Amino acid sequence: MRILGIFILGIFASAGMLLSLWAVDKLEENSKKSSKSLSLLISSLLVSSLSYEETYSKLQKVIEDIDFPVAILDNDGKLRAFKNVKKEEVGKLRFSEDIMYYDKRIGVLKYDYPRYTSTLRFITFILYGGIIVISFLIMYSFYFSLRYEQVEFWMGFSKGLAHQLATPVSSLYGWYEMIKGSIPVDAQEGIKKDLERISSILRRFSKLGGTLILENSEIVSTIKNVVNELSERFKNSANITFHYDGEIWVRCDPELLGWAVENLIKNSVEAGADKIKVEIKRRGNRTCISVIDNGKGFTKKERRMAFKKSFSTKQRGWGVGLTLVKKIADIHKGEVFIEKSDPFFETIITICI
C-alpha cells in the first residue's frame, strides 16, 4: 500500500509537470504568433504611412500591452521601438521576423519568449524534483521504519522466549538433581548436556533482546569448541575443519559469535556440503570468520535475499538462521556477506567485525 501510494503520487506529479510544460509551450507558441501578426501590422503601417517617424512613435504605444520582449528596428538597424527589454540587450533577443513589403525588407522585429515562461519551467522542474525527493525520503523512512519494527520484533520475541522458558528449565534442573542418582551415568551426562545447551540458547536469546556489553575476548577457543561440537554431531555427514593463526582477540560477545558460526555450519550441512572449513583471518583492522563449503550455494536471487527476514532455501524451517547471523553481526557493528558462491564447489560466507 505504501509503494502504491508513492506510485500514485508519482503519476499525479508527472501529470502535473506535463500539464505545466504544455501550458508553457502554448504561451511560447502564442508569443510567436503574436510576433508574426505584429510584423505584418508594422509592415502595413509603414507602407501606408507618409512619415516613418510618426508611425514608429505610434508603434511604441501599440506594443505597451505586449508581455514578451520585443524590439523594432528599421532597415538601417536603428532601434525604433522596444518593450520588456533593455536597449543594450536587444541583440540578445533570440528570434526575429523581417518586416516585408512584397519582396523588400523594410525593417526587423526582434522578440523572445516572455520572461515568466522560463520561470514557470524552472518552478515546474523544482516542484517535480521536490516531489521526487519527498517520495524518496518517504520510502527511506518506510524502510527504516520497517527495519525498526523488525528490530523491535526480535527484541520482544527474544526477551519473551527467554523469560517464558527460564522457569521450566530451572524446574528441569531441580528434577535432574533429584533423579540423577537413580539413572545410568550416560543418561546423567546426556540430560545435563542437553539442559546446559537449552540454558545456553536462552542466554543467547536474552542477549539478542537486551543491552549487550562487548568485551575483549580470545575467540579462537570459542570457535574451536563450536567446530568440535558440530564435528561430533555431524561426523556421519560432513568433515568440518578449523584453520587459524594463533590467538585472536576482538571486542565481542564470544557466545553470540560462536552461535553465528554454529548457524553458518548448520546451514552448510543442510545445503548438502560434506566438506566444511571454518577459517579466522585478520583483514586490515577487522577480524573475519569464514565458513567455506561445497554445498549447493546460492542463486543470484537467493544471494540478494539471503539475510532478509525468514529467507530459507529449505521446504521446512523458520528461515531465521542467516537472519540471526546478520543480527549478531549488526550487534558487533560488523557485517556478514556471501563472498563467493560456486554451487557444489565452493561457497564462502564471511562475518567481519
Q: What percent of the chain has pLDDT over 70?
A: 64
pTM more than 0.75: no
pLDDT in tens, 281-303: 999 899 999 999 999 988 887 87
Note whether 80 and 55 are within 8 A (CB): no
Q: Distance of CA 184 to CAs 95, 169, 196, Å?
A: 105, 21, 18
Q: Are strands 275-283 and 249-252 parallel, antiparallel or unpaired?
A: unpaired
pLDDT, position 2: 56
CA–CA dist 242, 245 (Å, integer):
10
Instruction: Name residues of the chain where pLDDT drops below 70.
Output: 1-10, 12-21, 23-24, 27-28, 30-65, 101-102, 115-121, 123-124, 127-128, 130-131, 134-135, 138-164, 209-211, 308-320
- Max CA distance (Å), the chain: 134
Torsion sign, CA atoms 271, 295, 238, 253: negative
DSSP codes joined into one string, 155-183: HHHHHHHHHHHHHHHHHHHHHHHHHGGGS
pLDDT in tens, 313-331: 554 433 467 888 888 898 8
Q: Which fold has domain 2-113?
A: Beta-Lactamase (3.30.450)
pLDDT in tens, 131-140: 677 667 766 6
pLDDT in tens, 110-162: 888 776 666 666 766 776 676 677 667 766 666 666 665 665 666 666 666 66
Q: Which helix (H) or strand (E) holds 226?
A: helix 220-233
pLDDT, position 318: 37
**Domain 213-352's class?**
alpha beta
Q: What percent of the chain has pLDDT over 90?
A: 23
